[in-house]
Amino acid sequence: MTSMTPAALAALSRRGFLKTSGALIVGFSMAGSGDAQIGGPSPGSPPINQVDSWIAIAADGSVTAYSGKEELGQGISTAQTQLVAEELSVPFDRVKLIYCDTALTPDQAYTSGSQSHPANFNHGNLAQAGATAREALIKMASQQLGVPVDELTAADGAVRAKSDASKKVSYGQLVGAKKFKLTLDPKARRKPPGEWTVLGTAAQRPDIPEIVTGQFEFVHNVRVPGMLHGRVVRPPRAGATVMNVEESSVAGMPGLVKVVVKKNFVGVVAEKPWQALQAAEKLKVTWTPGSGLKNPADFYEQLRNQKLTRDILLVDSKDVEQKLGQAATVVKATYMHPYQAHGSMGSSCAVADVQGDKATIWSPTQGVWYQRSTAAMVLGLKAENVRVIFRRGSGCYGLNAADTVTYDAALLSQAAGKPVRVQLTRKDELTSENYGNPFLMDERAGLDAQGNIIAWDHEAWSPTLGNRPGPGTPGNVITGSLVGFEAEAFTPRAPAPEPRGFNNNSNGIPSYAAALFDGVPKGAGKVGSARVLVHNIPSPFFTGPLRSPARFQNTFAHESFMDELAWHAKADPVEYRLRHLSNERVIDVLKAAAKAATWDARPSPRSGIPKSGVATGRGVACVAYEGDNGYTGIVTEVEVDQDTGKIAVKRVFVAIDAGPISNPDGLKNQAEGGALQGMSRALLEEVTWDEQRVTSIDWRTYRTLPLGFPVPKVECVLLNRPEEEATGAGETSITVIAAAIGNAVFDATGARLRQIPFTPERVKAALNARA
Amino acid sequence: MSLLTLKVNGRSHTVDVDPATPLLYVLSDDLELRGPKFGCGLGQCGACTVILNGAAVRSCITPVKTAVGAQITTLEGLGTPEKPHPIQLAFIDEQAAQCGFCLNGVILTAKAFLDKNPKATEEEIQQALSGVMCRCFTHVRMYRAIQKYAKEMAP
């Protein structure tokens, strides 16, 4: 580990082994964190510690790399290809990357939680396999050429003597399709960023030419000989179960192959998709009335009043009440975030071919090995007889209906004895995916006479049901539950046990807290007195990770509340944040965003606000994502039409630090998309229901920003940190934008928004509530 | 079922289908084209867009029988990875994609509109795309690509 800096070593010791071993992940379950899994790689998966699990070199010198982190549209396959090309000293286009196929690739758990960059670009896995392979090739060349190792160099897929270019041997000649039979060497030297020629550049994505010309194979385009088409019939009301299915109601319909009923799972299989859709609509199913749903009108009060809770304490300095008692001012505010859908634009789709005791499945799942173990449970097969091959779905953004539709296809294929493709209807997608968790959040802080924060208390309530299904809980998503598997148990627990150590995966702990553990500050801030308590409660709807799960919600509350505290302190919001931060990387991104925006330093709201018409303002927010997995600062500029309550975001400035930059254009793309997706979530998105069922069933009732809205100018500042560890990147800007918009609205109008989404009605109500 | 002949990307195809079948299913399943995609089946998102006699239409709500005799163009009919159409090239140059599922609707809607309105303003282009979605929110780059194409095509 010759090139490791002290900071890199510290980061490695903090999370290195667990996060790079492929066996996720540090920590414990909490509302919305979703990705925590215990246990190592799946039995039978290619060993993580073997070079041959990651890299193969053919006789012609072409390189095949194998990864357990897949391309969802976030650009990671391009960056991984760059990484392998860099470490092996071969051109980018000589590397073929294969990812997420249980017959071929290592088990790196889920592609989720901003873990791909840290997992594969630091000191293990794909990066270290590349470095180990390069050093092995140089050693082989040394023997073959009779030149000492330190007089050799690798370039363009060959090893040659530094002093004599004619002494040269190609990788193809050295290994020629043979295996390396080598264990990953932790001492193999990673190329430091200063030497990079491929990694760190804005390599273009190889998939885009295929996508724009209609050649690219999404999972929706997988076609298998003899393939049939399935549709599912979901319960029409919450909790409804099957009483009777009248197969005669569809008898003789053209193309109909089979009606499938397994407990509460109902589906049809037909020769063509249109035929399947018509049969599914016509099939007469009698359902029980169901359990009903509580009136949504007082939803957040219902959360607060839940008696059976599972409590989690993230930090508790034990002196919060005492400090609040001593404070010159105590500030309180409550923030709300609804259920939100992933709402992938193409409804989820999968293809399964179940033949006897074997199955091959093409799935957009985020975890092929976990899909394999749970699909095997659903089908009653042995996991080793199931092969799951990832094919890209539409978007992702977390646990959309990808896993559940894969079970749908598998069940229908098993019943039909033929390959079956299932694509959900828009309504089935939007009514039965695992929604992002709602949150009700109470914030309290004590300020001293100078307005400095002396104590911070955060208490949250969040409903949860189900989660990611792997490795053994298919009942965590609807199809598994319909065929009789239980969702993971909800076990009430109060009071919460003492925190075992610092874990801010959920960003429940505000960046301004020192978060002392054994007297050592672990947080990003200076406020010593802090308590963060989360109450998980049962949810009527399935929930699961939605891009920046819990982090988005908590950061909305923390960063809005920080603005409220700055107002109480009559301080400039940027200066006030800097006053309470200790972490250099958060400080730097905050300053960089403010600088890019030529931040107008003064307290909010601006003076001389008109009471009607259009008002303009600027807002800021920042975060240490998951405590230490990416850093971002953001400034937004908004116009608020005070007569209609409409918010128009005009400009967005994002500063990001994700460690060494692997592909600046890819990072920018993620920062831009994250900011605008977060803006849509902040302004419009909300799952709705009545006392029977979900009522947000299409794009008219689940509202989102289309392409045709005035898109703000988005400017990105990328802070390269070649001396640090690679961190997550794709969930940074989305985490901070909701608060930055709310803070800008406050700056413009003096009205504070505490409930997402910021609909015109809510904006009008907040404007009317102004003093 | 009926035998229908469709003109897709300059070639004739005869298919035996229920004439009420939405055009999308015939294109994506009978003809196995990968450009047009099912997003909502309700004409709300644009994923299924094709150009039919010069106009962008939603193939998920267009019965196949109404497309008989029309010139149908899908993404495949514009260009290839080796020889992309200028609007496809603009999206490659701007790296204007994340998952890419929406690009069929974005590219074809923008192209059909700009072909008829080569002098369109930014606001008019935005208006033309008001019913098209991208849930990865790659908007910044997609508009840059469309503007680039518009400038190249401007008379």
Measure the CA–CA gap between A714 and A653, rounded to whole angstroms. Answer: 6
Query: Which residues of chain A are within 8 Å of residue B81 when distances are taken between CB atoms?
Result: 209-210, 213, 215
Alpha carbons A522 and A627: distance in angstroms, whole number: 9
Q: Do B141 and A217 touch (CB under 8 A)?
A: no
Inform me whether the C-beta atom of residue B134 falls under 8 Å from chain A C-beta atoms: yes
Look-up: residue for tokens 């007195």? A529
Contacts of residue A706 in chain B, CB cutoff 8 Å?
129-133
Q: Is the pLDDT score of A25 beyond 60?
A: no
pLDDT digits (tens, 9 = 90+) for B55-67: 999 999 999 999 9
> How long a stretch of residues is chain A?
771
Please check whether residue A617 is in contact with residue A605, taking contact to mean a CB–CB distance below 8 angstroms. Answer: yes
pLDDT above 80: residue A26: no
Q: Would you list the domain boundaries of chain B?
A: 2-77, 86-153
Which of A2, A36, A4, A6 lies closest to A19 in space, CA to CA? A36
Fold classification of B2-77 (topology level) = Ubiquitin-like (UB roll) (3.10.20)
Inspect the interface and report whether the beta carbons of A346 and B98 lie closer than 8 Å.
no
Q: Which residues pair with A351 in a beta bridge?
A: A362, A421
Count of C-beta atoms within a 10 Å radius of residue A182: 17
> A114-163, pLDDT tens digit by residue?
999 999 999 999 999 999 999 999 999 999 999 999 999 999 999 999 99
B38 neighbourhood in chain A, CB within 8 Å:
220, 346-347, 423
Helix axes B86-93, B139-153, angle to 10 degrees: 140
Evaluate if residue A18 carries a pLDDT over 50.
no
Contact B42 A699 (CB under 8 A): yes
Min Cα distance A208 → chain B (Å) is 6
CATH of range A219-289+342-428; options 3.30.365.10, 3.40.50.2030, 3.40.50.720, 3.30.2310.20: 3.30.365.10
Q: Which residue has the higher pLDDT, A425 or A165?
A: A425
Is A340 in a helix, a strand, or coil? Answer: strand
* B145 touches A: beta carbon within 8 Å: no
Residue bearing the bigger pLDDT, B26 or A40: B26
Kindly indicate the confidence band of residue A200, based on its pLDDT and cuts at 50, 70 and 90. Answer: very high
Residues of A in contact with B107 (CB under 8 A): 212
CATH match of A1-216 with 1.10.10.10: no
Query: What's the pLDDT score for residue B153?
Result: 87
The pLDDT assigned to A151 comes to 97
The answer on pLDDT for A635 being more than 70 is yes
Helix (H) or strand (E) holding A620: strand A614-624
A72 min Cα distance to partner chain B (Å): 6
How many Å apart are CA A518 and CA A267, to the nearest integer?
56
> Is it the case that residue A87 has pLDDT exceeding 70?
yes
Q: Best interface-test mutation with A: which of B23, B65, B95 has the largest number of A CBs within 10 A? A: B95
- Across the interface, do A677 and B17 touch by the CB < 8 Å criterion? no
Length of chain B as a residue count: 155
- The answer to whether the CB of B153 falls within 8 A of the CB of B114 is yes
SS3 letters across A135-151: HHHHHHHHHHHCCCHHH
Whole-number percent of chain A with pLDDT over 70? 95
CA distance A354 to chain B (A): 21
Report CA Rg, chain A: 27
Contact list in B for residue A345 (CB cut-off 8 A) is: 39, 45, 47, 101-102, 133-135
Q: Is B140 an interface residue toward A (CB < 8 Å)?
A: yes
Of the partner residues B32, B34, B129, the one whose CB lies closest to the CB of residue A708: B129
Tell me, what DSSP letter sits at residue A219? G
In tens, the pLDDT along A471-510 reads: 999 999 999 999 999 999 999 999 999 999 999 999 999 9
Q: Do B136 and A73 touch (CB under 8 A)?
A: yes
Q: What is the mean pLDDT of residues A619-633?
A: 98
Residue-level pLDDT at B127: 96
Interface with A, mutate which of B8, B136, B146, B148 (most A CBs under 10 A)? B136
Chain A neighbors of B95, CB-CB under 8 A: 204-205, 208, 665, 669
DSSP run (H or E) holding A426: helix A426-432
CB contact under 8 A, A345 and B127: no
Across the interface, which of A214, A223, A708 has its CB nearest the CB of B127? Answer: A708
Mind listing the pLDDT tens digit for each residue in A359-409?
A: 999 999 999 999 999 999 999 999 999 999 999 999 999 999 999 999 999
B114 touches chain A (CB under 8 A): no
List the single best residue of B58, B65, B98 to mutate versus A (max A Cβ within 10 A).
B98
pLDDT of A167 > 60? The answer is yes
Write the pLDDT tens digit of every residue in A523-575.
Answer: 999 999 999 999 999 999 999 999 999 999 999 999 999 999 999 999 999 99
B136–A395 CB contact, under 8 Å? yes
Query: In chain A, pLDDT over 90 holds for what percent of residues?
Result: 93
For residues A253-282, average pLDDT: 98
pLDDT at A36: 42
From chain B, the residues in CB contact with A73 under 8 A are: 97-100, 136
pLDDT computed for residue A406 by the predictor: 98
Domains A1-216 and A219-289+342-428 alike in fold: yes
Which site among A72, A93, A211 would you substitute to test the B interface, given the most B Cβ atoms closer than 10 Å to its Cβ?
A211
With beta carbons less than 8 A apart as the criterion, state whether A106 and A54 touch: yes
Please determine, for residue A196, whether its predicted confidence score (pLDDT) is greater than 50.
Answer: yes
| Whole-number Å distance between alpha carbons of A64 and A54 | 8
Q: For residues A701 and A34, which has the higher predicted lDDT (pLDDT)?
A: A701
Mutate to test the interface with B, among A212, A423, A714 (most CBs of B within 10 A): A212
Burial pattern A655-665, b for ≥16 Cβ within 10 A else e, equals bbbbbbbbbeb
A665 pLDDT higher than 90: yes
**Contacts of residue A608, Cβ cutoff 8 Å, sequence gap at least 6:** none
Residues 51-70 of B with CB under 8 A from A: none
Token pair 């150009």 in the structure block, residue? B51
Please provide the average confidence, as pLDDT, over all residues in chain A. Answer: 94
CATH fold of A302-339+437-768 reads Aldehyde Oxidoreductase; domain 4 (3.30.365)
pLDDT interval class at A23 (50, 70, 90):
very low
Domain regions of chain A by residue span: 1-216, 219-289+342-428, 302-339+437-768
Candidates B65, B109, B140, B142: best to mutate against A (most CBs of A within 10 A) is B140
User: Is the Cβ pair B34, A700 closer than 8 Å?
Assistant: no
Q: What is the pLDDT of residue B73?
A: 98
For residue A706, give the nearest of B88, B98, B131 by CB distance.
B131
Q: Would you list the DSSP string of B53-85? A: TTEEEEGGGSBGGGGTTSEEE-GGGT--SSS--
Predicted local confidence at residue A75, as pLDDT: 96
- How distant is the Cα of A216 from the closest Cα of chain B, in angstroms? 7
Rg (chain B; Cα; Å): 15
* pTM of model > 0.80: yes
- A–B CB contacts, 8 A cutoff, strictly below: 192
Lowest mean pLDDT among A23-27, A646-650, B122-126: A23-27
B27–chain A Cβ distance below 8 A for any pair: no
Query: Is B131 an 8 Å CB contact of chain A?
Result: yes
Query: How many beta carbons lie within 10 A of that of residue A307, not counting itself?
Result: 7
Instruction: Flag whether pLDDT at A343 surpasses 50.
Output: yes
The CATH classification number of B86-153 equals 1.10.150.120
In the structure, what pLDDT confidence band is assigned to residue A177 with cuts at 50, 70 and 90? confident
